[in-house]
Chains A and B, each alone.
Chain A
Amino acid sequence: MKPRRAARVDASQAPGLVLDAGALRALEHHDVTLVVALRAAHRLGLTIRIPSAALAQVWRGGPTRAPLARLLKQPATVVTIDERAARQIGEFVAHLRLRDDARADVVDAHVALTTRATKSLVWTSDPRDMLRYGVAPAQIRTI
């Protein structure tokens, strides 16, 4: 039996950690608070989720992405956008009332929806974005 790799399907709705693009970038610099939080989450059996859109924002290949590549080989869950999720994100964005004519960002919406749906804690470099997308303050951890 092969070692368990990153699951490509978000099979569970169990709470855990969600990492946005800012968190993934911080991981590449071995941000201590994030690394320790990942270890604590792992030891507690909490799911670590990486929305695929956030992954696409940071993934450029090459050796600097080595930490992220290692995490993807672990039992972290990459939350993919299938047709159903794409519709949910689109409908969610359509109902948003953003100030200052700000344009809705599909990646942020995916991260926020994943956090809300799983009642998780999102690690983000831009907490205002998550608040705008309706994530509760207690569920936001700023990098």
Chain B
Amino acid sequence: MTKKIAVSLPDQTLERAQLAVQHGKAPNVSNYIALLIDQQSASESFEAMVADWLRASGATANTIRAAERRALADFERAGLVPKGRRRREAASRRAG
């Protein structure tokens, strides 16, 4: 079931949505907005799920940071992310 509502979008945002539709991301702008909302909610719930698990694990912030570094190193080794990304991200964090 769907419900019709009025949504105001900045011109540029609407243009980007229309462009996405032209590129086949969704059949129309309404569907495209629904898709983005859906993806965003899934993403938020994934983060919430992981946050629950990390709380349950009792891991300290240091342990989690070390695990993040290890995970990115594993991803690099397996070719899942370009080599050097980890170092660039660390430098970026230090810079700012």
Contacts and interface: CB of A to CB of B under 8 A. Distances in A.
Interface stretch (A27-35, A56-64, A92-100, A105-113): A27-35
A75 B46 contact: yes
B67 A36 contact: yes
B78 A33 contact: no
Q: Dominant SS at the B interface? A: helix
Interface string B50-90: 10011011010001100110111011011111000000000
Contact of B54 (A35, A42, A121): A35
Contact of A32 (B43, B64, B81): B64
Interface residues of B, number: 31
Contacts of B15: none
A7 to B, nearest CB: 12
Interface string B30-55: 00001100110111011101100110
Interface pairs A-B: 5 shortest CB-CB:
A36-B67, A121-B78, A37-B71, A30-B57, A32-B59
